[in-house]
A and B are shown apart, each in its own frame.
Chain A
């Protein structure tokens, strides 16, 4: 689309105001990513580039978990319980890692899926708005995490460090992204998701079992975050009481930075996940390297977040956060 507009521009010189706005909107995340990257490299005298491995290491967890939430937000829902899902799944991974590493992976995924199903039951079955349900489960499971990990962190078996290689972490991330991309772009499931985000009632009347789709998507997002929990434990080796804290906000900011319309629908694009996660990580790391305090960082993040939401909100369709 943007390319088409540019072509027209060069051909006819015609560039309408609305088109300019759309062009800026659709290319802002990628331009932002490049600009932020260059600016921080300049400001830190290349420090950012030399510590790229360290930065890359922080991307995996956010990017994997953001993929699940991306699905949820495509159909107009929200999920604030991601951090708590990450926490519980991390503890499960730690406990099982001594027995068998495959069992630990499966356990993490299952734990995540179970909490996702718990969310979905109240959201779909009991018809409570998703952000209310997930805020409740966020506190609920955070409580469980504190109970289990407050006295001492839950440590994983030393064997998990064998898996702490870039190949494995990058491989898992790439696999999740690739499969999700195919599902989102080339299956009826993906089309259903976007359509539900754009207008649920009409989708129901077109014969889609919308409740089933909505239930599945929460389970799936939970499972994906369960997998991210494995990567998290491989990286950190143990689960503290703060494990996964604020992951949900990080994901939300990442997706919105990537250009995701907050109410989902037809304008959602898969590159939102990738560009957004990268932009978020580069931005936070850049700020840290600049020597900003945590308080200042939160302030700046808040401002950037607000600007992006204002830019990408689909105002015709805003009343429908489910």
Chain B
């Protein structure tokens, strides 16, 4: 018997015109934690989802212990000995904890067509106890538990039957410290039993600490497989990006004087249930950061300044005295907004890149008779999509087929095309890989230097510290501290104001 558990042979998969995987081949051994890394859109999840029966590969084979597997769905994959913990919530509302654990495998509790609920609950409780998750009770509705506990239930669901391969897809980012430790413990246990974990994570230190072997994908192509003990973080980054990641990531200047000129004044803004009595001023050429916990109300600041909040009181005033109370007025006065909810609020998904970029600029693009020409729209869209180096076949392509980073580039291209002076960027680098992040930071720095003002709302403290002239910390919907740009700020001084 060889010690190869899974052979991936020339697996390919396309979505529309996007090639998510191209002839990917590599081996995964028994009894190891095998990490799968790569930038956004590199095909990690596509590969594991194909293995677990969520997607169907176009070509190629998976050989599990030398036998071909091609599961049509997750239950079939389970029966073959493959299970997966997905990135999003993988439990179903409206079912009990026990029903979720045994979803698709209820037949073991069914006699004469009737489900023996008591037996199912008993078995589930035994499992939960074995895992040390005593606080979760099998007969309870899953809805009663929070995100973290539900993830623990998923761990039980995916591992109780000792599958040969367990895929863990970016689960750790959703978990607290204790939850992570619990997951790590289970991963090690699976390895000790001689089974295999495929571990997907963006967190490189975590990958290096937990895994035995690391496989790198880039743009759907297999790059390399390395031993964790023989590589460091920089080496991994280089493999992921395809070149040395050098040069300044964030801004490098300190102590630059910010203009005294106020471009936007926010007074006593309240949005019921979200923010209360928020007042601040935004200066010309300034990057003003907003940080805090996700529920601190900071994400509403962008919407409130854009005139998009429901039921807002207080005032948002520009230097010329204009009050911003609705979106069209905001845009007409050169304000741009990129939402955290990119797919719903920033982009029209089933629409071309062209129309997405041109949408706010149609008035400027039409001639005296209010007519638009296709040629003009196309060249406008191409100009700014290229300026942002958006990866695409043509501007006629739908945005729904683009990766997260490229979608964000389309959003930014739209506002650069509009030449907005005030940019409200909510989580501009969320879910975006290193290379694109760097592009966005550079763009922000250029804009700042050319006198544009930026509000940057972010959950990533390091990027706030790296990019902002001033950081306002939000807590429970109110402003809870303000820090000026300095090389001495560290994350802890921000966190102190956040909680």
Q: Are A202 and B355 in contact (CB under 8 A)?
A: no
In Å, the complex CA distance between A138 and B330 comes to: 39
**Chain A residues with a Cβ under 8 A of chain B:** 18, 182, 186-188, 191-192, 194-195, 198-199, 201-209, 265-266, 314, 316-317
Given the contacts A201-B345, A202-B347, A191 and B362 also touching, CB distance less than 8 Å: yes
Indicate the member of A186, A187, A199, A202 with the most B CB atoms within 10 Å. Answer: A202
B459 to chain A, nearest CB (A): 20
In Å, the complex CA distance between A204 and B350 comes to: 15
Nearest A residue to B358, CB-CB:
A191
Name 15 extra pairs, CB < 8 A, besides A202-B347, A207-B331.
Answer: A18-B16, A188-B366, A191-B362, A192-B362, A194-B355, A198-B348, A203-B359, A205-B327, A206-B348, A207-B360, A209-B328, A265-B351, A266-B350, A266-B352, A316-B350
- List residues of chain A with CB within 8 A of the CB of B96: none
Indicate the member of B358, B362, B371 with the most A CB atoms within 10 Å. Answer: B362
In Å, the complex CA distance between A186 and B348 comes to: 19
In Å, the complex CA distance between A206 and B345 comes to: 9
A9 to chain B, nearest CB (A): 16
Given the contacts A188-B370, A194-B355, A266-B355, A202 and B350 also touching, CB distance less than 8 Å: no
The one of B350, B366, B372 in contact with A199, judged by C-beta atoms closer than 8 angstroms, is B350
- List residues of chain B with CB within 8 A of the CB of A199: 344, 347-351
Q: Are A202 and B348 in contact (CB under 8 A)?
A: yes
Q: Are B362 and A188 in contact (CB under 8 A)?
A: yes
**Chain B window 399-410, contacts with chain A (Cβ cutoff 8 Å), 1 for yes, 0 for no:** 010000000000
The one of B337, B345, B359 in contact with A208, judged by C-beta atoms closer than 8 angstroms, is B359
Once A and B bind, how many residue pairs between them come within 8 Å at the CB atom?
A: 82
Q: Are B345 and A202 in contact (CB under 8 A)?
A: yes
- List residues of chain B with CB within 8 A of the CB of A202: 344-349
Q: Are A205 and B400 in contact (CB under 8 A)?
A: no
Q: Are B327 and A194 in contact (CB under 8 A)?
A: no
**Chain B residues with a Cβ under 8 A of chain A:** 16, 306, 308, 327-328, 330-332, 337, 339, 344-352, 355, 358-360, 362-363, 366, 370-373, 398, 400, 414
In Å, the complex CA distance between A204 and B326 comes to: 10
- List residues of chain B with CB within 8 A of the CB of A316: 350, 400
- List residues of chain B with CB within 8 A of the CB of A195: 348, 351, 355, 359
The one of B332, B345, B352, B363 in contact with A188, judged by C-beta atoms closer than 8 angstroms, is B363
Nearest B residue to A263, CB-CB:
B350
B385 to chain A, nearest CB (A): 16
A19 to chain B, nearest CB (A): 10
- List residues of chain B with CB within 8 A of the CB of A314: 350
In Å, the complex CA distance between A202 and B355 comes to: 12
In Å, the complex CA distance between A234 and B182 comes to: 80
Q: Are B372 and A206 in contact (CB under 8 A)?
A: no
B271 to chain A, nearest CB (A): 16
B400 to chain A, nearest CB (A): 7
Q: Are B359 and A187 in contact (CB under 8 A)?
A: no
B347 to chain A, nearest CB (A): 5
A–B Cβ pairs within 8 angstroms, 15 of them: A186-B373, A187-B370, A191-B362, A195-B351, A198-B350, A201-B345, A203-B359, A205-B306, A205-B308, A205-B346, A206-B348, A266-B350, A266-B355, A266-B398, A316-B400
- List residues of chain B with CB within 8 A of the CB of A266: 348, 350-352, 355, 398
- List residues of chain A with CB within 8 A of the CB of B359: 191, 195, 203, 206-208
In Å, the complex CA distance between A203 and B327 comes to: 11
Nearest A residue to B330, CB-CB:
A207
B327 to chain A, nearest CB (A): 5
The one of A186, A204, A207 in contact with B372, judged by C-beta atoms closer than 8 angstroms, is A186
In Å, the complex CA distance between A188 and B355 comes to: 10
- List residues of chain B with CB within 8 A of the CB of A265: 350-351
Nearest B residue to A199, CB-CB:
B348
In Å, the complex CA distance between A206 and B348 comes to: 10
In Å, the complex CA distance between A265 and B355 comes to: 12
- List residues of chain A with CB within 8 A of the CB of B350: 198-199, 265-266, 314, 316-317
B413 to chain A, nearest CB (A): 13
In Å, the complex CA distance between A207 and B332 comes to: 8
Q: Which 9 A-B pairs have the closest CB atoms?
A: A207-B331, A188-B362, A199-B348, A206-B359, A198-B351, A198-B350, A202-B348, A266-B351, A198-B348
Given the contacts A188-B370, A205-B308, A209-B328, A198 and B362 also touching, CB distance less than 8 Å: no
B99 to chain A, nearest CB (A): 26
Q: Are B346 and A187 in contact (CB under 8 A)?
A: no
In Å, the complex CA distance between A192 and B373 comes to: 15
In Å, the complex CA distance between A199 and B351 comes to: 8
A3 to chain B, nearest CB (A): 14
In Å, the complex CA distance between A191 and B306 comes to: 23
In Å, the complex CA distance between A314 and B400 comes to: 14
In Å, the complex CA distance between A22 and B29 comes to: 43
Nearest A residue to B342, CB-CB:
A202
A234 to chain B, nearest CB (A): 32
A17 to chain B, nearest CB (A): 10
In Å, the complex CA distance between A317 and B351 comes to: 11
Nearest A residue to B372, CB-CB:
A186
In Å, the complex CA distance between A265 and B399 comes to: 14
In Å, the complex CA distance between A3 and B327 comes to: 41
B401 to chain A, nearest CB (A): 11
Nearest A residue to B332, CB-CB:
A207
In Å, the complex CA distance between A202 and B358 comes to: 13
Nearest A residue to B373, CB-CB:
A186
In Å, the complex CA distance between A316 and B349 comes to: 10
B254 to chain A, nearest CB (A): 35
Indicate the member of A188, A203, A207, A208 with the most B CB atoms within 10 Å. Answer: A207
Q: Are B398 and A187 in contact (CB under 8 A)?
A: no
